[in-house]
């Protein structure tokens, strides 16, 4: 089976190269927001299976400032990828969504896969969240017409291969970079957005790569939420990070003029656990130690 991976040198894609033999593409190879380019990609490589990781991603302030770009670029690439996978007879397609697809507030937690359609996504990630939600709908419709298309919805991710500056990184990556910069510059504090009260699940991207490989290997057809069970406050995660990086001398200062973001968006992983009951996730402390060591090398 010939496997094609978009976003192949990104956060999850770089880890996936360890587990899956395939064609790993990035934005330098094809512009996936251009329909002609997507058609050219499929014609050139003729894949049997596609893992669609490519996306425009960024931190909360970047999403707030550029919602049009986050919606349009993700909507275009996702639509063209699914549309032409069908046109070029791709036998298996796995899309990667985000927990940003889920409603801002629901009447129960954690959220199950079907909760995606209950209400609107959080306003701060509305463009990105809705574009990902639309891809989920597109894939579900393809599935109804007999295609072996599915998606996974991971919680927030972190890892050693998250690219971009602080504005483009998710919380854990940005947190660890702030710690590394503070330590290398001799600062005595780090500044975080909001007040530290929101709850988050964060999953090590290497775990998601392993799961994607298992989905291909065993031809899993179900849509699955993917996450560690831990649901911690931002403040707890920050203090654990200071401990894990031997940085307890740094103070945490909260900038309450900046947004908190969604209060909670923890997802239910019962379906995943039923299919892969023996899968062991990387613990938060183990994961951040690996990521911090990588970032620390970059900042001296």
Q: What is the pLDDT of residue 165?
A: 79
Q: What is the pLDDT of residue 68?
A: 98
Residue 141: pLDDT band with limits 50, 70, 90 = very high
Q: Using one digit for the tens of pLDDT, what is the confidence trace for 116-131?
A: 999 999 999 999 999 9
Chain-wide mean pLDDT for the chain?
A: 96
Neighbouring C-beta atoms of residue 136, cutoff 10 Å = 21
Selecting among 128, 130, 151, 158, the annotated active-site residue is: 128
Q: What is the pLDDT of residue 169?
A: 86
Residue with tokens 């954690």: 110
Q: What is the pLDDT of residue 168?
A: 78
Q: Using one digit for the tens of pLDDT, what is the confidence trace for 200-216?
A: 999 999 999 999 999 99
Answer yes or no: is pLDDT of 167 > 80. Answer: no
Residue 134: pLDDT band with limits 50, 70, 90 = very high
5: alpha, beta or left? (left if phi > 0; alpha if psi -120 to 50): beta
Residue with tokens 């349009």: 72
Q: What is the pLDDT of residue 296?
A: 86
Q: Using one digit for the tens of pLDDT, what is the confidence trace for 22-81?
A: 999 999 999 999 999 999 999 999 999 999 999 999 888 999 999 999 999 999 999 999
Residue 297: pLDDT band with limits 50, 70, 90 = confident
Residue 158: pLDDT band with limits 50, 70, 90 = very high
Q: Is 42 in the active site?
A: no
Q: What is the pLDDT of residue 299?
A: 63
Q: Using one digit for the tens of pLDDT, what is the confidence trace for 245-290?
A: 999 999 999 999 999 989 999 999 999 999 999 999 999 999 999 9
Q: What is the pLDDT of residue 300?
A: 54
Answer yes or no: is pLDDT of 298 > 90. Answer: no
Q: What is the pLDDT of residue 166?
A: 78
Are residues 3 and 20 in contact, defined by beta-carbon separation less than 8 angstroms? yes
Q: Using one digit for the tens of pLDDT, what is the confidence trace for 235-247?
A: 999 999 999 999 9
| Rg of the Cα atoms in the chain | 19
Cα within 13 Å of Cα(226), Cβ side: 30
Strand residue runs (E) in the chain = 3-6, 23-24, 49-52, 92-96, 148-154, 156-158, 189-193, 199-200, 202-204, 224-226, 232-233, 251-255
């Amino acid at each position: 089976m010939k496997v094609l991976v978009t976003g192949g040198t990104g956060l999850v894609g770089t880890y996936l190269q360890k587990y899956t033999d395939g064609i790993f593409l990035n934005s330098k190879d094809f512009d996936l927001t251009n329909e002609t380019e997507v058609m050219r990609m499929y014609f050139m490589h003729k894949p049997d299976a596609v893992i669609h990781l490519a996306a425009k991603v960024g931190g909360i302030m970047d999403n707030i400032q550029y919602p049009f770009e986050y919606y349009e670029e993700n909507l275009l690439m996702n639509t063209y990828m699914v549309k032409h996978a069908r046109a070029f007879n791709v036998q298996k397609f796995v899309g990667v969504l985000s927990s940003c697809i889920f409603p801002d507030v629901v009447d129960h937690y954690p959220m199950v896969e079907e909760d995606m359609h209950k209400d609107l996504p959080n306003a701060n990630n509305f463009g990105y969240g809705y574009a990902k939600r639309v891809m989920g709908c597109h894939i579900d419709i393809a599935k109804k017409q007999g295609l072996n298309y599915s998606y996974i919805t991971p919680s927030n991710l972190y890892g050693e291969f998250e690219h971009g500056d602080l504005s483009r990184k998710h919380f854990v990556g940005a947190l660890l970079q702030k710690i590394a910069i503070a330590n290398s510059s001799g600062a005595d504090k780090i500044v975080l957005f909001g007040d530290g009260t929101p709850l988050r699940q964060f999953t090590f991207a290497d775990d998601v790569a392993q799961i994607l490989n298992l989905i291909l290997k065993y031809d899993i057809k179900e849509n699955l939420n993917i996450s560690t069970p831990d649901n911690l406050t931002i403040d707890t995660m920050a203090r654990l990070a200071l401990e894990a990086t031997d940085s307890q001398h740094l103070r945490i200062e909260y900038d309450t003029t900046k947004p908190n973001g969604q209060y909670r968006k923890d997802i239910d992983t019962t379906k995943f656990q039923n299919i892969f009951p023996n899968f062991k996730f990387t613990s938060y402390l183990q994961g951040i130690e690996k990521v911090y060591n990588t970032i620390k090398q970059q900042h001296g």
